[in-house]
Amino acid sequence: MRAVETLLHARWVIPVEPHATVLEHHTVAIDEGRIEAIVPQAEARQSFQARSEVELDRHALIPGLVNAHTHAAMTLLRGIADDLPLMEWLQRHIWPAEQQWVSEQFIHDGTQLAMAEMLRSGTTCFNDMYFFPEITARTAASAGMRVCAGMILIDFPTAYAGGPDEYFAKGLALQDEYKHHPLVRCSFAPHAPYTVSDAPLRRVQVLADELELPVHMHVHETAGEISDSLRACGQRPLQRLHDLGLLSPSLMAVHMTQLTDAERQLVADSGATVVHCPESNLKLASGFCAVQKLLDAGINVALGTDGAASNNDLDMLGELRSAALLAKAVQGDASALPAPEALRMATLSGARALGLGEAIGSLQAGKWADITAVDLGAVETRPLYNPISQLVYAAGREQVSDVWVAGHHLLKNRQLTQLDMADILQRAHTWQGRIAAADAAPHST
């Protein structure tokens, strides 16, 4: 008998690699935070002795979901101003609120609220872009959650930094502090083509190549972004990024609702990742990202929720479903983005984009034990003909029962083990009072 820390005995294991595979009555053995083996239950019960065993006899185990685009702390602005045209939403509500409220405490409290929601819906890793990323990194690490903290970069001064030099200095200090941390990775996070000038963008790519880090950026989110760029510099943003050397395997281009065939080919040739955020694109009327065409071109497509102010949740299981449904309509083909492809987008493709494809994103011996258990026993997922289909098209976030990150049991039978829910709710309530009182056109009651 080999001694291991934990055995998870599951009705189904959906490892994502190999693709579209469902293992029945298998066990995941975990030791020192990593997956030791995945074997049939009968074999596991004979071969391993574990300090802890979990029976998951109505559950599917999947790789922890990777949310490839968040602004976690913005969860404190969830629902502050909905149903407004994009520019009114940004200029009259979101930007003024950010200018007034964003601080280290705001980031800490908002990130904890976001993590509570993300863990409760099966997400184990999030790729964040926001101010004070060192607070995001510290808050995530102290809760045991995996994060890629974006070294935010924007031309204009904010409460966080006075200009490009200070953004770089703070970002690089963050990267230096966390470069050997098992849970924290850093990315460069230049906000968007229209908010970052050529010189800092060139510097991003030099540093990204040197440090082997991803570059996380909003690109081609709306038609207006394209026409503004054509007016300002005579180029579409993607062409400008290409000329600046940013189209590379390290790029995570978020949204990409506006692409010509030639641009799609350019992205495919570059090895860049597209991060698809379907619910944000719908809610802000940004346009439709042609996901199946991207996949057909061989592009790595990851999935993100965007911030809770434009979604309004951080539920990757729901986002997965929205992506799979929407792709069919956009492609005009009910067989587009089938369930196993959607699940891979929400796990392994995100991991690969972050440079973590060998560490997380699928259930494989040797990878970190970042695992989500979904209880498929409820009426909402019965009868059950195909577990992957059921996960994508019928399961709800409330069916996520347990979550492990690096072998640590962070959600246990729907209870958070590392985060204090009452405290998080109390702090959200305090922020709500302040923010609602100050919002230019309050909707609060």
Q: What kind and span of H or E run contains 437? A: helix 421-438
Count of residues that bind a copy of itself according to CB under 8 A: 76
Asked if residue 228 binds a copy of itself (CB under 8 A), the reply is no
Which whole-number Å values give the CA distances from 404 to 53, 123, 217, 230, 287, in the listed order? 13, 10, 29, 47, 35
Q: Which of 208, 146, 224 is nearest to 175 (CA)?
A: 208
Rounded to a whole number of angstroms, the minimum distance from the CB of residue 380 to a copy of itself is 6
Closest to a copy of itself by CB, 93 or 138 = 93
DSSP string, 159-214: SS-SSHHHHHHHHHHHHHHHTT-SSEEEEEEE--GGGS-HHHHHHHHHHHHHHT--
- Residue 334 beta carbon to a copy of itself: minimum distance, rounded to whole angstroms: 4
Question: Could you say whether residue 439 binds a copy of itself (CB under 8 A)?
Answer: yes
Residue 100 as a binder of a copy of itself (CB under 8 A): the answer is: no
Which one of 230, 425, 438, 441 is in contact with a copy of itself (CB under 8 A)? Answer: 425
For a copy of itself, the closer of residues 181 and 443 by Cβ is 443
Tokens of 170: 């703070």
Site mask for a copy of itself (CB under 8 A), range 103-142, x = bound: ----------x--xx--x----------------------
Cα-Cα end-to-end distance for the chain: 61
Positions 190 through 209 that interact with a copy of itself (CB under 8 A):
none
Q: How far is the CB of 339 from a copy of itself (least distance, A)?
A: 6
Interface segment toward a copy of itself; rule CB under 8 A; list 41-49, 123-131, 143-151, 386-394 = 386-394
Distance, CA of 273 to CA of 302 (rounded, Å):
7
Q: Does 315 bind a copy of itself (CB under 8 A)?
A: yes
Q: Residue 208, Cα to own-chain centre: how many angstroms?
A: 20
- H helices within 179-315, ranges in order? 198-211, 223-233, 237-243, 261-270, 278-283, 291-296
Residue 40 sits in the site that holds a copy of itself (CB under 8 A):
no
* 312 touches a copy of itself by CB under 8 A: yes
Which 268-287 positions form the footprint of a copy of itself (CB under 8 A)? Answer: 279, 281-287
Residue type, 127: N
Q: Can residue 429 be called a binding residue for a copy of itself (CB under 8 A)?
A: yes
Interface positions, 60-89, toward a copy of itself (CB under 8 A):
76, 78-86, 89
Phi, psi of 192, rounded to the nearest 5 degrees: -165, 160
Closer residue to a copy of itself, CB minimum distance, 162 or 442:
442
When asked if residue 311 is in the footprint of a copy of itself (CB under 8 A), the reply is yes
- Write a three-state SS string for 100-138: HHCCHHHHHHHHHHHHHHHHHCCEEEEEECCCCHHHHHH
Q: Identify the residue whose tokens are 């071109």.
A: 297
225 binds a copy of itself (CB under 8 A): no
- Which residues, numbered 15-34, are part of the site for a copy of itself (CB under 8 A)? 22, 24
The DSSP H or E segment spanning 427 is helix 421-438
Instruction: For a copy of itself, give the closer residue by CB, 81 or 135.
Output: 81
Identified binder of a copy of itself from the candidate list 1, 180, 231, 445, rule CB under 8 A: 445
Residues 285-304 that bind a copy of itself (CB under 8 A): 285-288
